Structure formats: C-alpha cells, structure tokens
Structure 1
Amino acid sequence: MRAAAALCAGLLAALLLAQPGDGAPARRKRGAADAGTRPVLLGTDPPGRLRPSSPNDGGAAPLDAGPDEVHQQLQALQSRVYQLERERAQSQEQAQLLQQLVGEMRDLRQQLAEAENRQRAAEQERAARQAQVQVAMSSLQAAQERLRTGDYAVLDELDQASSVFSGAARRDIEYARTALQNRDLAAARAHLSAAISHAAQER
C-alpha cells in the first residue's frame, strides 16, 4: 500500500512540474539573433533555381495580338471590294456572253429571212414558169389547130412558145417555122406535134 501511494505521489509531482507556472522559467522566443548566419529564403523557388525575369516585359501585361476595331473594319471593306470586283467581272462576262448570243440570234434570224426570201422567190419563179409554160402550151396547141384547118398565120404563137421553151422543144418549133416558110404544112404540123411533146416534158 505504501508503495502504491508513493507511486501516485511521484506521478502527481511530475505532472505539476511539467505545467508552466509563475515560478517556471518561460521558453525564450527565437529571434533574429538565434538565426545566426543562415540565409532567409523568400519566394517559392528553391536556392539556385531562381527564374530570371524578362528584361523587356517590365512587369507589364502582354498586348492583344489580334486586329483592333479599325483593322477589322478595313478587312471587312477589303473583302467587300474583292466581292464587288468578282461580281463586276462576272457581270462583264455575262454581258459579253449575252451580246454574243444576241449577235448569233440576229445572224440566225437574218439567215432564216434570207432562206425564206429565196424560197419565196423560187416558188414565185416556179409559179411564173408554170404559167408561162401553160400559156406557151396553149399557144402551140392553138397553132396546131389552125394548121389543121390550113391556116398558116401561126408565127406569133411560135415566137411566144420559142421564148419559153428550151432544148428539143425549141428546136422543134424552129423546124416548124422553117416548114411554114417553105409552105410545107405537113412537115410544120409534124414538127409542131414534136414540140408539144417535148414541151410537156419540161413542165
């Protein structure tokens, strides 16, 4: 029992001595003098690894490298100018193409008009030729009828028919004229019949 009491008393005394009190000497605060010659580190870089600052930055913030508002407006105007130039070039090409097409259409219309005029003229000439041939055939037939009755006065009809026909028909008409001049009625009628036959082939 005495040993246990002594042990408890010793522990209590040790606890009392461990607490700071008025009589216990206070721990001295560590000041600048206690630091001795050890260097004081400032910042986050370890010794020997300090990053050198740029000599030109001067601590100023970097400027914006992009175009400012004036440059943006200038770029927009340049883009618009380029677009207008392209549109003008396209318009000029379209105008030239349109002018070329108009010229081609004008030429085609002129060619069509000329072709129609030629066709119309050919039709008119053919119609006139048919009319002349018909009149000449009527003259030859009338001359043949008059010769059949013994009338020799058919030279006017022969002249009219001779100016219309060509080739064998005209040759036969000339033979009939010669026969009439010789007062050969039979030969004149024979040549006149041949002229009518050849003239029918020319119609």
Structure 2
Amino acid sequence: MKKAVVILSGGLDSTTCMGIAREAGYDVYPITFDYGQRQRREIENARLVAEFYGVADRHKVISLGFLKEFGGSALTDDSIDVPPAGESGPVESDIPVTYVPGRNLLFLSIATSYAEVTGAEAIYIGVNALDYSGYPDCRPEFIRKVEEVMALATRVGVEGVPIKIETPLIDWTKAEIIRQGERLGVPYHLTTSCYNGQEEACGECDSCRLRLKGFADAQSSDPIAYRSL
C-alpha cells in the first residue's frame, strides 16, 4: 500500500486530511509537533485521532520546545494574550499575533525526513488559503517553493521520485471541509481548534469562530463543548 505522512495537530483540518488520505488509498503515518503551544490539549487530541484510525503505533510526537523559548506568538508566549475574534492583537498587522514564526516550514522539513525514512510518497498538511487567519505559511506559493526544495534536498528527489505535498483543503471553505469530513466519518468529536487550550473551547478566538461558522454554514452541529456558548 502506498504511504503518506500526515501532519496531525489534533484539529479539525488536519484530522480531515487523515480521512482524505485514507480514502485516497494511503497507509497513513501521522506526525504531531509539541512546540510549547498554549493549546496543549491538541497533542492528546492528535493521539486520540491516531488511535481512531488504528495507527497509534506509528504516530510520532516530536518536541520543538525551542519555539516556545523563542516566543513571538500568542500561541507560544505567555506574555502575549490571544485576541478575541476579529482583532489582530497588540500590533496592527495583516498577520495576527497567533502566527508562529517558521512553524510550517519546520513541520514540513521534519515531515520530509519521516516520509523519506518510511518510504512515504506524500505529505498531507491541512493548510487553507481561504478560511484562514492570514498566516504567510498557509499560502499556495509557500507550499510550491517548499516542494521544490524538498525535490533538491532529498535522495528520493534526486533519484526522480520526489515527495509530494498534498494540500486538499487549500481552497475550500470551512463548511466544505466539514461536509467532506462528515462524508468520510472523520471523528470531529476528538478534535479541538481553540487557541486557548482549555478543557472546553473558548468559543471566542478566531479559530473557534471560524470553526463554529463552518459548522453553521454546513448546516451541522459541532460535537465539541464550548465554554462561552
């Protein structure tokens, strides 16, 4: 069976990618990154999703604690508050304070190593350029450039069989993602999207609001609990 590494955060989008990769006939190898993120619950959610798909034995959780040491993001720096939905944060910018510098670049680099070792021909990542929060490392042009570098920097790439980056959600609305996930039986009850990482999702951050709007637009109900609803 062909193999794919899935970058699995424990959130809605990456879990949908698990379902899509499975439907596409891939044997999935999930990889999760512990980078000192505020939403610590998502690591456990990723484990639960891996168990759901029967691949807990090959699920890798990789420590990138230095990203918390660097700080610079509301997701890794306790001195920066997560802003309510619709607010970028203390510094006016098109890129919100929840952006983690270099995160997806690091994720894809490490996932490439895992893919080459396991013989995976693809890496799935749940980036989205439509219903997203303005992150530069979620854009199609970023993915294309990283894929070019991967082809140059790996043995399989030099041998003419480069690893592909699959971004099935890149131009879907959140509602379209949810509809597809529900069709595939994706376990959304095991996921979390909240930036604040409490026992119950806050319902107020950008990520929660995007998720809730997606379920509403899909005419469906979000199966997770929210603190403020």
TM range (shorter): under 0.3
With structure 2 as the length reference, what TM-score do the two structures score?
0.15
Higher strand share: 2
Higher helix share: 1
With structure 1 as the length reference, what TM-score do the two structures score?
0.17
Say which one has the larger Rg: 1
Question: Which one has more relative contact order, counting CA pairs under 8 Å at least 6 apart?
Answer: 2
